[in-house]
Amino acid sequence: MMRKPKEHHKTPEGSTFKHFRRLLGYVRPHKRYLVPALACVLLMAITYSASIGSILPVLTVMVKPQGLHGWVDQYIAEKRLRCELGIYDVLRHRQVDGVPPAAALIRSVSAGSPLLGEKTDAQPGLREGDFILRVNDVVGDAVTTFHALAGPETTLVIEYQPALGGPPATLRVQASPLDTHHRAMRAAVDLIPRGRTAEERWYTLAFVLGLLLCVVVIGNVARLFAEYLTVLVNCRSIIDLRRQMYAHVLNMPLSRFSRNTTSTMSMFSQDMQEIFRGLNNFFQKVVAEPFKAIGAISLAFALNWRLTLVMLLGAPLAAILFRKMGRKIRRASRKLLIGYGVMLGQLESTLTGLRIVKGYTREDYERKRLFKIDRHLLQQELRMGFIEALTSPAVEVIGFAAAVGAILFFARNMLQQPDQTPEFITMLVCLGAIFDPIRKLSTVYPKLQRANAAAQRIFDLIDSPSEYAQDVGRPDIQPIRQQLTFENVTFTYPDANQPAVRDFSLDVAKGEVIALVGPNGSGKTTVLSLLPRFFPVDSGRILIDGQDTSQVTLRSLRRQFSIITQESVIFPDTVRANIAYGRPDASEEAIRSAAERAFADEFIQQMPEGYDTIVGEHGATLSGGQRQRIAIARAILRDAPILIFDEATSQVDPESELKIHQALDEFLLNRTSFIIAHRFSTIRGAHRIVVMEDGRALAIGAHDRLYADCPLYRRLYETQFRDEG
């Protein structure tokens, strides 16, 4: 069994996702799949950001006159010289003598720019409106000038035409060396076909789009593996969690299931589905979407960091909204999961008793009863649906409001400088790329809260005490040698108003057969359920050879019993597995011998595959007598020193009943046995009979004495046993 993660002990009680974080402990053992899955998620996010970032070069090729290579050179030159450059447009600017069209134009110079430094011919440094005519003897239009300014040379001799007129001037500039990322940009763009004619720019565009297609293919392959691997991790984690939960359920006290088992069954199905959906959304969206948003935010910061920062001020408001909505979803989801357990119980009871439902024509009644439960579930679903439906639009409104402000701010500059259209469009795409992950996270958050609520229910179950935990350090009990004693035993079922067993006392010698009789509800089955400690006694003791059974290990105590219940329990497995259930290591010869002694071999041999025949659920393919004979064979094979037999022969035919009693007569010889009797044929073989009423031992003795002295026994005999006797 998988070791239970311990991270939850460090989590504060008030943590919103306390239980969901504990779930992640079940993911960690599968890191050999999780690590490549997260790597694929990261690659997917990188390619997503790259595809967003490619919009700017694509638009630059299509819109800007300098083309992609000129734009990159312009960007590097602006960063290197701390200025803003442009292209002289004779249609938009006043015409200046001596300045050719499409020359490089100084739009602005920042403080500390080397363009304000060393100068010659007593001319001031470059300033807004000046035109660059030559750089280090390189003469040409703006694209040529940008390329020279972005080159590897650190000493630049710039000849320029002042905006205010006058002769050209020369300025010697000591520029900083190219940064590593600027050199990388130049090297990357040099791999792309260069050209400025329409046809050459078309080839450049085709090359860029081809690269983008490769990026998209890589991103989607990464997405395929990321989603598959996360599903694999989540499925394995759910199996680990279900296995641990099932192992713990099997070790829990029977009292935990005496009232309602369908709630636990619902945890194995509905709650696990909620957890699976939550884990899937966590790894496929909560992990991936922030990476995608980070890439878009980084690109937006590169374009305009101030605007991006202002736009992100809406994020805390969205986080507050998430938290408030999440609390409500978690509470509603917990109620819904409890409701699913109630519905499952209703379905199970109705379908199990479908013959009675149909026989009494109560289909309409059962339909209305389930409809009432469904209506309650609908209320919780609608409550969660409304909250989930509200979350995403609210976040979208907040995001759109921030985007509107950002667009208006950015559009002012664009309208004044039309050549910034690619940057403007790219910024709009970045805004959408930033808020799209946030919008997706707003739909994921409710699912995580639902998974958190389901995890809370499951961990409440897993953290409940095991009935074997108290056995640490206790001794094993030895098989009965002399006597078994009930000493003033009292027991009350959980939530019951009165005890089911009251001050019950009885001494039983080894090898003695004790029959318990009494009206329904008199406590017969409960008394025998206390022997193997299915329930702890409220007061009194049960002793085997003077040793208190509450102070010995539970497993050693239960090895002392073979149990045959009133409703013979048959598992959906082979006949062989059902007989060997108490001794799975039994040989084939021992299994067949036990079946023969229980008179079960005769009908087993007639089955299609004999002992390898798989019986239906609850032994549905077997008759009542066949089920009970297999249960007796199971008890015979186990060969425990004490037998508990809750007789259930009312549903079997006379021939099966005769064979059942023949098998029992042999098996009971010299074996300490407790039999709940419903027929006189069973009472005949008992050494003593215990008459029970209201949880008490009303009388104890042989048949003749009880018939003479005990009115209740006499009445039971007259009504139940006489005809048979």
Residue type at position 265: M
Average pLDDT for residues 214-241, to the nearest whole number? Answer: 89
186-190, 273-277, 380-384, 415-419: least confidently modelled range = 415-419
Helix ranges, 522-600 (H): 524-530, 554-558, 575-579, 588-597
Among the CATH numbers 3.40.50.800, 3.30.365.10, 2.30.42.10, 3.40.50.720, which is that of 79-179? 2.30.42.10
Same fold, 21-46+207-462 and 79-179: no
Among the CATH numbers 1.20.1560.10, 1.10.8.80, 3.40.50.1100, 3.40.640.10, which is that of 21-46+207-462? 1.20.1560.10
Q: Which residues are paired to 131 by β-bridges?
A: 105, 161
Taking the C-alpha atoms of residue 54 and residue 559, their distance in angstroms, rounded to an integer, is 73
**First-to-last C-alpha distance (Å) of the chain:** 54
395 pLDDT above the threshold of 80: no
Kindly write down the DSSP assignment for every residue of 387-451, as one continuous string: HHHHHHHHHHHHHHHHHHHHHHHHHHHHHH-GGGHHHHHHHHHHHHHHHHHHHHHHHHHHHHHHH
400 pLDDT above the threshold of 70: no
Q: Are 226 and 288 in contact (CB under 8 A)?
A: yes
Hey, what are 70's tokens? 């000129």
Strand-by-strand arrangement of the 539-544 sheet: 501-509, 483-491, 539-544, 547-548
Taking the C-alpha atoms of residue 367 and residue 678, their distance in angstroms, rounded to an integer, is 36
User: Could you read off the pLDDT of 343-377 as tens digits, one per residue?
Assistant: 766 666 666 666 666 665 667 777 777 777 777 77
H/E element, 83: strand 83-87
Hey, what are 687's tokens? 């050494």
List, in order, residues 6 or more apart from 365 with CB less than 8 Å away.
none
Hey, what are 226's tokens? 């990321």
Phi, psi at 254, each rounded to 5°: -60, -25
Q: What local confidence, expressed as pLDDT, does residue 491 receive?
A: 93
Q: What is the largest CA-CA distance in the chain?
A: 141
List, in order, residues 6 or more apart from 30 with CB less than 8 Å away.
232, 233, 236, 237
Q: Which of the pair, 663 or 476, is modelled with greater confidence?
A: 476
287 pLDDT above the threshold of 70: yes
Other CB atoms within 10 A of residue 715 CB: 11
Average pLDDT for residues 667-684, to the nearest whole number? Answer: 81
DSSP structure class, residue 650: T
Taking the C-alpha atoms of residue 336 and residue 271, their distance in angstroms, rounded to an integer, is 10
Other CB atoms within 10 A of residue 321 CB: 17
Q: What local confidence, expressed as pLDDT, does residue 505 receive?
A: 93
259 pLDDT above the threshold of 60: no
Hey, what are 260's tokens? 């309602």
In the chain, where the domains are located: 21-46+207-462, 79-179
Taking the C-alpha atoms of residue 439 and residue 285, their distance in angstroms, rounded to an integer, is 11
pLDDT band at 541 (very low <50, low <70, confident <90, very high): very high
Q: Are 19 and 9 in contact (CB under 8 A)?
A: no
Q: What local confidence, expressed as pLDDT, does residue 668 receive?
A: 82
Q: What are the angstrom distances between the C-alpha of 342 and each of 263, 272, 356, 456, 582?
A: 7, 17, 21, 18, 33
Q: What local confidence, expressed as pLDDT, does residue 6 receive?
A: 42
Q: Report the phi/psi class of residue 102: left, alpha or beta, with left for phi > 0 and alpha for psi in -120 to 50.
A: left
- pTM score, two decimals? 0.68
Residue written as token pair 């960007």: 75
pLDDT band at 471 (very low <50, low <70, confident <90, very high): confident
**Most confident stretch, 53-62, 357-366, 552-561:** 552-561
Taking the C-alpha atoms of residue 435 and residue 455, their distance in angstroms, rounded to an integer, is 30
Taking the C-alpha atoms of residue 145 and residue 158, their distance in angstroms, rounded to an integer, is 10
User: Could you read off the pLDDT of 290-313 as tens digits, one per residue?
Assistant: 777 777 777 777 666 666 666 666
Phi, psi at 696, each rounded to 5°: -110, 155
Helix ranges, 150-283 (H): 180-190, 198-250, 262-266, 272-281
The angle subtended at Cα 567 by Cα 564 and Cα 570, nearest 5°, is 75
Q: Are 150 and 184 in contact (CB under 8 A)?
A: no
Q: Which residues are paired to 487 by β-bridges?
A: 541
The β-bridge relationship of strands 642-646 and 561-564 is parallel
Taking the C-alpha atoms of residue 338 and residue 344, their distance in angstroms, rounded to an integer, is 10
DSSP structure class, residue 614: B
Q: Are 626 and 600 in contact (CB under 8 A)?
A: yes
Q: Of the candidates 159, 73, 72, which has an alpha carbon nearest to the alpha carbon of residue 123?
A: 159
Q: Of the candidates 100, 542, 429, 461, which has an alpha carbon nearest to the alpha carbon of residue 250?
A: 461
Q: Which of the pair, 202 or 309, is modelled with greater confidence?
A: 202
Q: Of the candidates 286, 242, 249, 238, which has an alpha carbon nearest to the alpha carbon of residue 449?
A: 286
Other CB atoms within 10 A of residue 249 CB: 19
Q: Of the candidates 595, 590, 625, which has an alpha carbon nearest to the alpha carbon of residue 610?
A: 595
The β-bridge relationship of strands 547-548 and 561-564 is unpaired
Hey, what are 195's tokens? 């050209």
Q: Are 186 and 156 in contact (CB under 8 A)?
A: no
Residue 635, helix vs strand vs coil: helix
- Please state the three-class secondary structure of 18-75 as a single string: HHHHHHHHHCHHHHHHHHHHHHHHHHHHHHHHHHHHCHHHHHHHHHCCCHHHHHHHHH
Q: Of the candidates 34, 93, 66, which has an alpha carbon nearest to the alpha carbon of residue 195?
A: 66
Kindly write down the DSSP assignment for every residue of 492-507, as one continuous string: --TT-SS-SEEEEEEE
Helix ranges, 540-583 (H): 554-558, 575-579
User: Could you read off the pLDDT of 240-251 as tens digits, one per residue?
Assistant: 998 888 888 888
518 pLDDT above the threshold of 80: yes
Taking the C-alpha atoms of residue 399 and residue 436, their distance in angstroms, rounded to an integer, is 9
Taking the C-alpha atoms of residue 529 and residue 383, their distance in angstroms, rounded to an integer, is 44
DSSP structure class, residue 106: E
Strand-by-strand arrangement of the 688-693 sheet: 561-564, 642-646, 672-676, 513-517, 688-693, 696-701
User: Could you read off the pLDDT of 678-715 as tens digits, one per residue?
Assistant: 777 777 778 999 999 999 999 999 888 988 889 998 88
Q: Are 134 and 117 in contact (CB under 8 A)?
A: no
Q: Of the candidates 28, 2, 7, which has an alpha carbon nearest to the alpha carbon of residue 18?
A: 7
Taking the C-alpha atoms of residue 612 and residue 603, their distance in angstroms, rounded to an integer, is 13
584 pLDDT above the threshold of 80: yes
Kindly write down the DSSP assignment for every residue of 669-709, as one continuous string: TT-EEEEE-SSHHHHTT-SEEEEEETTEEEEEE-HHHHHHH
Q: What local confidence, expressed as pLDDT, does residue 7 receive?
A: 41
Average pLDDT for residues 206-221, to the nearest whole number? Answer: 85
